[in-house]
């Protein structure tokens, strides 16, 4: 089995590299892919850099260049739902792009022709995430995650995204990974830990809780990998 793990920032993959320890570096497309041997299995880890374009490039490279058979995204997100608080883990059952708008041609917001409004993540990987959560008595929130190339730090915009897409969390990469994996027939899982409330204080909260929330997500993904490869 070959697993790919993507984070958007250095802080999101540092706990993973620290856990696995020894790795080999591959340089491709302006990025570094860290290869970790796990017996007969391999894990590739990369931080894509922020945004949908970079995330799509990293997911494509992992699949097409390194033969990854499953992709897990680990990182942080802003809360759209009032039920979420900093540190909560969120499992994206569906991913959408809140910043896509060709409604002038009669299409729904977020929809691209010959694509999908919502891309569903892997039921099998999501089931493994639930197993890990249950075994550790970790609350795992589930729902729609919206992605877009903007950091949401405005209460009005936050409410619009939540209302328009029925999303519970917002970030900047998950839907891009989802589109690439769906096109390539690769199972994927999007796991996020809440770092802020996507409102006027989001920038302060994000800076304060980035590392702790990123580590919470990464630690969870480590346990998922152990179950996948056992």
The CATH number for 87's domain is 3.40.50.1580
Over the stretch 96-124, which tens digit does the pLDDT of each residue have?
999 999 999 999 999 999 999 999 999 99
Q: Who contacts 143 (Cβ-Cβ below 8 Å, separation ≥6)?
A: 81, 90, 91, 92, 93, 94, 166, 167, 168, 169
Contact (CB, 8 A) for 47 and 10: yes
Alpha helices per DSSP H over 65-196 = 123-135, 155-165, 174-184
Q: Is 196 a catalytic residue?
A: yes
Select which of 11, 12, 88, 173 is catalytic: 12
Q: What is the pTM of this model?
A: 0.95
Give the confidence band of 76 by pLDDT, cuts at 50, 70, 90: very high
Q: What pLDDT is stored for residue 203 in this prediction?
A: 67
Give the confidence band of 213 by pLDDT, cuts at 50, 70, 90: confident
Which residue has better confidence, 206 or 58? 58
Contact (CB, 8 A) for 194 and 63: no
Give the confidence band of 209 by pLDDT, cuts at 50, 70, 90: confident
Over the stretch 120-139, which tens digit does the pLDDT of each residue have?
999 999 999 999 999 989 99
Domain count for the chain: 1
Owning domain of residue 203: 2-229
Give the confidence band of 146 by pLDDT, cuts at 50, 70, 90: very high
13-22, 149-158, 194-203: which range is least confident on average?
194-203
Residue whose entry in the numeric block shows the structure tokens 């890990």: 132
The mean of the pLDDT values for the chain is 94
Q: Which helix (H) or strand (E) holds 79?
A: strand 70-79
Q: Who contacts 196 (Cβ-Cβ below 8 Å, separation ≥6)?
A: 78, 79, 86, 153, 202, 203, 205, 206, 209
Contact (CB, 8 A) for 77 and 171: yes
Give the confidence band of 211 by pLDDT, cuts at 50, 70, 90: confident
Q: Is 149 a catalytic residue?
A: no
Does 199 score more than 90 pLDDT? Answer: no
Select which of 11, 171, 173, 196 is catalytic: 196
């Amino acid at each position: 089995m070959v697993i790919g793990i993507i984070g958007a920032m250095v802080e999101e993959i540092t706990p993973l590299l620290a856990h696995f320890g020894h790795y080999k570096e591959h340089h491709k497309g302006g990025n570094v892919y860290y290869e970790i041997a796990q017996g007969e299995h391999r894990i590739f880890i990369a931080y894509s850099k922020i945004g949908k374009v970079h995330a799509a490039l990293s997911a494509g490279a992992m699949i097409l260049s390194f033969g990854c058979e499953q992709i897990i995204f680990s990182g942080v997100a802003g809360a759209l739902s009032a039920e979420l608080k900093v540190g909560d883990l969120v499992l994206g059952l569906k991913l959408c792009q809140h910043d896509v708008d060709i409604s002038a041609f009669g299409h729904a917001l977020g929809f691209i022709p010959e694509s999908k409004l919502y891309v569903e993540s892997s039921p099998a990987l999501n089931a493994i995430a639930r197993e890990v959560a249950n075994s550790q008595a970790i609350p795992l929130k589930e729902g729609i995650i919206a992605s877009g190339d903007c950091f949401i730090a405005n209460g009005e915009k936050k409410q619009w995204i939540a209302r328009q897409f029925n999303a519970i969390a917002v970030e900047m990469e998950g839907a891009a990974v989802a589109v690439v994996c769906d096109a390539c027939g690769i199972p994927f899982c999007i796991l996020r830990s809440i770092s802020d409330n996507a409102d006027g204080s989001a920038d302060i909260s994000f800076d304060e809780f980035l590392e702790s929330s990123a580590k919470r997500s990464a630690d969870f993904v480590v346990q998922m990998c152990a179950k996948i490869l056992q």
